[in-house]
Amino acid sequence: MSNQPVLFETSIQSLPLLHRGKVRDIYAVDDNKLLIIQTDRVSAFDVILPTPVPGKGRLLTALSGFWFEKFAHIIPNHLTGISPESVVAEGEREQVAGRAFVVKRLRPLRIEAIVRGYVAGSGWKDYKNTGMICGITLPPGLQEAARLPGGAIFTPSTKAAQGAHDENISFAEAEKLLGKELTVQVREKAIALYTEAADYAITRGIIIADTKFEFGQDDAGELYLIDEALTPDSSRFWPVDQYAPGKNPPSYDKQFVRDWLETQDWNKKAPAPALPPDILAKTAEKYEEALKRLVSSA
């Protein structure tokens, strides 16, 4: 994938641009549909890095498409099946080929649905300080990267504006944003999605330590899985053969980028430092291996 043309930012003139996110550019197709294009941008600590990862957008598209299809029996998703090339001008088709979806226009929920199966990242920091993760009390004495003994937990977060940081919130705080019934439904669906994905991934040599789902609703209130699903951008992937509790395992995801950034003299605000070629190449390799392991001959 790394020999593919790099796309840092799209320039679709035939459709109105609605939003540029950390990775995705979103255009309006009509009143009911959107065009979502996965670029090669990479973000860390909620800041877009100046260096794109070659082929990343196509990889995210392929992996999300795989999971959307695999999870169709659990929850509907926002895909329409319409070819992205069919909704843009002829000269713009290269920008969407293999890296875009035409999706239903839905109303995104006001939280991110994070599911954790292991104690890692901000969850590990929270647990060390409080013995809890997002208000959920856990058994004492857990090590970093330990599997949660009671099974996966739902730990929602707020959606921060670009450049700001998402904040973990309690289930009760999520209820205030969504209402009790919808929050319970989101928790049930998110844990079901994570559990099925984690059970599958471990047979392919990957531990999914945690992941983030996004959900939306249509006018009738039906819940859909939207955005992306279980990619290296939204999840923490660990190799089974290098996993041991007590330390943060190497990963197939952008934790590799985060680890390098932590060694830099950077305040985690824009502008971010450029990635050197070796870090860039290794990051692209990690993403590609994750796709190969999860999807090849699945």
Q: What percent of the chain has pLDDT over 70?
A: 96
Point out the domain boundary residue: 104, 131, 149.
104
**Cα–chain center distance at 287:** 13
Strand partners, 27: 17, 35
Closest to 116 (Cα-Cα) out of 143, 158, 77, 156: 156
Q: Which residues of 29-40 are buried (b: 16+ CB within 10 A; e: fewer)?
A: beeebbbbbbbb
- Give Rg (Cα) of the chain: 19
Q: Is 285 domain-assigned?
A: no
pLDDT of residue 1: 47
Residue with structure tokens 């990479």? 42
List residues bridging with 187 in a β-sheet: none
DSSP 103: E
pLDDT band at 296 (very low <50, low <70, confident <90, very high): confident
Are 131 and 199 members of one domain?
yes
What are the backbone dihedrals phi and psi of residue 123, each rounded to the nearest 5 degrees, phi first? -65, -40
pLDDT recorded at residue 241: 95
The answer for residues whose C-beta is within 8 angstroms of residue 160's C-beta and 6 or more apart is 46, 166, 167
| Residue carrying the six token digits 């904040």 | 167
Determine, yes or no, domain membership for 277: no
132 & 227 share domain: yes
Query: Do 124 and 89 share a structural domain?
Result: no
Number of structural domains (the chain) is 2
What per-residue confidence (pLDDT) applies to 190? 98
Q: Which residues contact 284 (CB under 8 A, 6 or more apart)?
A: 1, 2, 53, 54, 55, 56
Residue 218 shares a structural domain with residue 233? yes
What is the average pLDDT across 19-46? 95
Q: What is the CATH number of the domain that holds 75?
A: 3.30.200.20
123 and 210 Cβ atoms separated by less than 8 Å: yes
Which positions ≥6 away from 178 have C-beta within 8 Å? 109, 110, 111, 186
Helix (H) or strand (E) holding 223: strand 223-226
Domain's final residue, options 58, 76, 104: 104
In a domain, 188, yes or no: yes
Instruction: Verify that 114 and 244 share a domain, yes or no.
Output: yes
For range 15-28, the mean pLDDT: 96
CATH number for the domain harbouring residue 162: 3.30.470.20
pTM of the model: 0.93
Q: Count H helices, E strands: the chain?
A: 7, 15
**Number of other residues whose CB lies within 10 A of the CB of residue 3:** 6
**Residue 227 shares a structural domain with residue 146:** yes
Going by pLDDT thresholds of 50, 70 and 90, the confidence category of residue 92 is very high
**How many residues would you count in the chain?**
298
pLDDT tens per residue, range 124-175: 999 999 999 999 999 999 999 999 999 999 999 997 665 566 788 999 999 9
Q: How many CB atoms lie within 10 A of CB 125?
A: 13
The residue written with tokens 């790099």 in the block is: 6
Residue 298, pLDDT > 60, answer: no
Residues 93 and 193 in one domain: no
pLDDT at 195: 98
- pLDDT, mean of residues 89-103: 97
What confidence score (pLDDT) does residue 250 get? Answer: 87
Domain boundary among 235, 251, 267: 251
CA–CA–CA angle 287, 292, 293 (5° rounding): 100
On the question of pLDDT at 209 being above 50, the answer is yes
| Residue 2 pLDDT > 60 | no
pLDDT category of residue 251 using cuts at 50, 70 and 90: confident
Task: Check pLDDT > 80 for residue 34.
Answer: yes
Per cent of the chain over pLDDT 90 is 85
CB atoms within 10 A of CB 84: 23
Q: Per-residue confidence at 5, pLDDT binned at 50, 70, 90?
A: confident
| Residues of the domain holding 169 | 107-251
Residue range 289-298: mean pLDDT, rounded: 86
Give the lowest-confidence range in 6-15, 125-134, 244-253. Answer: 244-253
Is residue 114 pLDDT above 80, yes or no? yes
Closest residue by Cα to residue 15 from 67, 110, 84: 84
SS3 state at 229: coil
165 lies in the same domain as 223: yes
